Amino acid sequence: MSGVELALTGFALMLGAIFLRVPIAVAMGLTGFIGTWVVLGHPNATLSQMKTLTYDTFSSYSLSIVPLFLLMGQFATKSGMSAALFQAASDWLGHRKGGVAMAAVGACAGFGAVCGSSLATASTMGQVALPEMKKRGYSDSLSTGVLAAGGTLGILIPPSVILVIYAILTQQNIVKMFIAALIPGIIAALGYMLTVAIYVRVKPDAATTAPRIPMADRMRTLWRIWPVVVIFGLVMGGIAGDWNWAQDGVQALFTPTEGAAVGAVATGIYGWATGGLTWKGLLESILETAQASAMIFFIVLGAQLFNSFLAFTQAPQQLAEWVTAQGFAPLVVLSAMLVCYLIFGCVMDSLSMILLTIPIFFPIVMALDFGLTPEQAAIWFGILALIVVEVGLITPPVGMNLFIINSMARDVPMGRTYRGVAPFVASDLVRVVILVAFPGITLWLVGVMF
């Protein structure tokens, strides 16, 4: 059996195990272990390789950024930032038709800037915004759909845990990945707001308007969100660097891991100072961060074992050579990959998709000629992959954000939530087409700052 055939067999068996509801980390790790055993031909060599791989994975300094950003998100959730963000956005946009739904999108974007988790963003903003939209007569479909979609901004707007994992897997600069995600993240938020505006014009009964808030009151609520702006500026400004006009270029204040630590401490201090973060909340935040980190690290280890098996078979390199030899247009190959992500998103979570596919897709992307430098192609593909993975969070039947929001609105049938999120999925697909056609949108800010 050739290396490619062995890799395809292992991939099929792993997917079969996942469909049988074997935990994804176990499915990937077990497939990688058995596959490596078959390739190397001796269990002792496989166990030795597994020992080394486990140590190398968990001793990675870059990976320590993950629990720090998760802890930052926990502190932000407990400190009440979500309520202040939604109130400010609602005061500025609530008087428009569908304005409260637009405000929910804006609040999700702001909360995502200090959270980095889609599930946390969806659940936190759902608790704040769902009762308000229900009170104002918004339809069930629009209320649940917009919050499920808005929650996806948590992994697109930096800091993003998924983006960190991608950067580590592909050995890219985490800071550049964060910078590249800024403009697509803003476009995503504006696209969702535009979708709401179109939605309420097609279905006028789906939303209402609220009284216009006086400008003085709006300015006061805007002032209350200063912690989000300060913390986001502190983290992103610190890791991206400060403009030093005496020199040519940007000088970083601290590393991404240090930036995550600073953000977590700053968010924790704010929560403690405002009374939102109690001792009980602190212990809950640490425990939940530990649980989420353990889950992520276990999946990462399973993926590393599977990726090691693929490396021994040489299948990714052979597949990349085969695709290049066929003469397919690069955009055709890229489009096929993005469609695969959309399909996988119906049955898998975002982290598993990235860990499972990047070792296979990334070498192919690097072998194709998009008219970009290797680094530019890697950054561009990473943002595109992140966006289509984000779409998977709101596509049935296993869109995690849909289940989170629907669990908060128990009186809303899941079918209505599916219908409500459909226009936002369409908005995502339009955005993907635009970013594929115009890579400069993603890469422009990186080029300016570096």
List, for residues 239-248, the tens digit of each pLDDT value: 765 444 334 4
Q: What gap in Å lies between CA 397 and CA 400, rounded to an integer? A: 9
CB 140 within 8 A of CB 416: yes
Q: What is the pTM of this model?
A: 0.85
Residues contacting 393, CB < 8 A, separation 6+: 118, 148, 151, 152, 155, 345, 350, 399, 400, 401, 402
Picking from 291-300, 362-371, 389-398, 412-421, which range would have the lowest pLDDT averaged per residue?
389-398
Per the DSSP assignment, residues forming a β-bridge with 251 are 242
- What is the maximum span of the chain, computed from C-alpha positions, in angstroms? 75
Give the per-residue pLDDT at 248. Answer: 47
Q: How many residues does the chain have?
A: 450
Going by C-alpha positions, the residue among 360, 446, 420, 259 that lies closest to residue 8 is: 360
Give the per-residue pLDDT at 244. Answer: 44
Q: At which residue do the structure tokens 């085969």 appear?
A: 322
List, for residues 164-191, the tens digit of each pLDDT value: 889 888 888 888 999 999 999 999 999 9
Give the per-residue pLDDT at 136. Answer: 85
More confident residue, 228 or 428: 428
Residue 257 CB neighbour total at 10 angstroms: 19
- Residue 251 pLDDT exceeds 60: no
Per the DSSP assignment, residues forming a β-bridge with 205 are none
3-state secondary structure 314-343: CHHHHHHHHHHHHCCCHHHHHHHHHHHHHH
Tokens of 442: 């993603």
Q: 95: helix, coil or strand?
A: coil
List, for residues 108-138, the tens digit of each pLDDT value: 888 888 877 787 788 888 888 888 888 888 8
Give the per-residue pLDDT at 199. Answer: 92
Tokens of 202: 């097609």
List, for residues 151-166, the tens digit of each pLDDT value: 888 888 888 888 888 9
- Residue 235 pLDDT exceeds 70: yes
Backbone angles phi, psi at 243, to 5 degrees: -70, 120
Tell me how far CA of residue 42 lies from CA of 30, 39, 309, in angstroms. Answer: 16, 8, 14
Q: What gap in Å lies between CA 311 and CA 314, rounded to an integer? A: 5
- Residue 140 pLDDT exceeds 80: yes
List, for residues 53-102, the tens digit of each pLDDT value: 888 878 877 788 888 888 888 888 888 788 888 888 888 888 888 888 99
In which band, very low, low, confident or very high, does the pLDDT at 252 lie, cut at 50, 70 and 90? low
